[in-house]
């Protein structure tokens, strides 16, 4: 059995179910309690779980992320939300120097079982300080796990696994996916971290992607199919740990790769993947790996300019044809 719900509702269900399952789970962040989150994900939680488990915080990311690290070290399981992933610079020390390193620096004696939820991405005309995709920023620091789902079913199953994980997990949610309505399984389920998913099987080229760009890749694949080009779409879902086996399997079948990401191209996670594939799978490649990413500019406020700033299906189609010399 299944039901059709939005991505935002799926995230809310995951939080609700985990709070019912484990009294050590609590949530906090700006406007999380009374307002129920700026995207209404936690609406009604304050009334059900009370102010000790649903906590509104001041506008102080360093403060409340630091508090989450301390709470996790003491055995609780905080789920803390940044209103936008752009604000990660405000909490850099507790996240990157504390949460990410504590297990290693204590010789495994202490863990930090916390989740940092962070809405990300462009398309809502939020301008340069509220529109970035910073996945490579998070992936750079050993000790953090990084998740970036696209579907409602994936978002729910992966968030439940993230909350149960004993290490810090950054859970990236594209803002324009919240309203997507899709089928999810009824009842209890989880999806393991570190497991990619083939969203479309193909033989001619592999598109590796994640988050919102999965849908653009699928749209591009449908366009290319009409021209006789069969594309495989591999949704990583989890960036750290990376499902390298899934990449090897797909590239060994298609022998051509493009990597699609909304993030700025310079210094991107797409660039890291491209280098790793070139280093380790060179003999499997029929052509160089190509990246299709956002432009190396600040995200514009202008709707016309913003829409040109990140990859669309037509950009992916052109990239596939370049790689295949079509």
- Domain at 154, CATH number: 3.40.50.970
Per the structure, the count of domains in the chain is 2
Burial level of 150, CB count in 10 A (0-12/13-18/19+)?
Answer: buried
The answer as to whether 190 is a domain residue is no
Tokens 């803002």 map to which residue?
175
Q: Same structural domain for residues 149 and 260?
A: no
Q: Same structural domain for residues 171 and 23?
A: yes
Confidence of residue 84 (pLDDT cuts 50, 70, 90): confident
Q: Same structural domain for residues 53 and 180?
A: yes
Instruction: Give Cα 255 distance to the centre of its chain.
Output: 26
Q: Which of 61, 173, 213, 262 is catalytic?
A: 61
Q: Which of 30, 130, 180, 182 is catalytic?
A: 130
The answer as to whether 201 is a domain residue is yes
Query: What would the pLDDT profile of 13-33 be if each residue is shown by its tens digit?
Result: 999 999 999 999 999 999 888
HSE-up of residue 233 (Cα within 13 Å, Cβ side): 26
Query: What would the pLDDT profile of 107-134 be if each residue is shown by its tens digit?
Result: 999 999 999 999 988 766 777 677 688 9
The CATH number of whichever domain residue 245 belongs to comes to 3.40.50.920
In the predicted structure, residue 188 carries a pLDDT above the cut 70:
yes
Would residue 61 show up in a list of annotated catalytic residues for this protein? yes
Q: Report the pLDDT value the prediction gives residue 125, as an integer from 0 to 100.
A: 79
Q: Same structural domain for residues 202 and 176?
A: no
Q: Same structural domain for residues 179 and 257?
A: no
Would residue 183 show up in a list of annotated catalytic residues for this protein? no
Q: Same structural domain for residues 254 and 150?
A: no
Confidence of residue 1 (pLDDT cuts 50, 70, 90): confident
Q: Report the pLDDT value the prediction gives residue 123, as an integer from 0 to 100.
A: 67
Q: What is the mean pLDDT of residues 232-257?
A: 98
Query: What would the pLDDT profile of 190-203 be if each residue is shown by its tens digit?
Result: 999 999 999 999 99
The answer as to whether 154 is a domain residue is yes
Token pair listed for 63: 């403060």
The answer as to whether 88 is a domain residue is yes
Q: Report the pLDDT value the prediction gives residue 184, as an integer from 0 to 100.
A: 95
Q: Report the pLDDT value the prediction gives residue 105, as an integer from 0 to 100.
A: 93
Q: Which of 45-54, 119-128, 214-223 has the lowest mean pLDDT?
A: 119-128
Its domain, for residue 36, covers 2-185
Q: Report the pLDDT value the prediction gives residue 133, as an integer from 0 to 100.
A: 87
């Amino acid at each position: 059995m299944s039901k059709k719900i939005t991505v935002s509702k799926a995230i809310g269900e995951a939080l609700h179910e985990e709070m019912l399952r484990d009294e050590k789970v609590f949530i906090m962040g700006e406007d999380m309690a009374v307002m129920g989150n700026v995207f209404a994900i936690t609406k009604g939680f304050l009334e059900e779980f009370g102010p000790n488990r649903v906590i509104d915080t001041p506008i102080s990311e360093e403060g409340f992320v630091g508090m989450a690290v301390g709470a996790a070290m003491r055995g609780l399981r905080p789920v803390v939300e940044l209103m936008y992933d752009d604000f990660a610079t405000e909490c850099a020390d507790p996240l990157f120097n504390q949460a990410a390193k504590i297990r290693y620096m204590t010789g495994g004696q202490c863990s930090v079982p916390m989740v940092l939820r962070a809405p990300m991405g462009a398309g809502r005309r939020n301008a340069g300080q509220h529109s970035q995709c910073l996945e490579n920023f998070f992936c750079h620091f050993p000790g953090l796990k990084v998740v970036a789902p696209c579907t409602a079913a994936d978002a729910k199953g992966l968030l439940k696994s993230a909350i149960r994980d004993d290490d810090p997990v950054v859970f990236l949610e594209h803002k324009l996916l919240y309203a997507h309505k899709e089928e999810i399984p009824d009842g209890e389920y989880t999806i393991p971290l570190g497991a990619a998913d083939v969203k479309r099987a193909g033989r001619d080229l592999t598109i590796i992607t994640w988050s919102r760009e999965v849908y653009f890749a699928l749209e591009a694949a449908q366009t290319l199919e009409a021209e006789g080009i069969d594309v495989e779409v591999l949704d990583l879902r989890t960036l750290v740990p990376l499902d390298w086996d899934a990449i090897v399997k797909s590239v060994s079948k298609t022998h051509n790769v493009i990597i699609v990401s909304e993030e700025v191209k310079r210094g991107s996670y797409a660039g890291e993947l491209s280098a790793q594939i070139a280093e380790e799978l060179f003999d499997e490649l029929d052509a160089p790996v190509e990246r299709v990413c956002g432009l190396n500019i600040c995200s514009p406020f202008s709707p016309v300019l913003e829409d040109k700033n990140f990859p669309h299906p037509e950009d992916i189609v052109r990239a596939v044809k370049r790689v295949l010399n079509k």
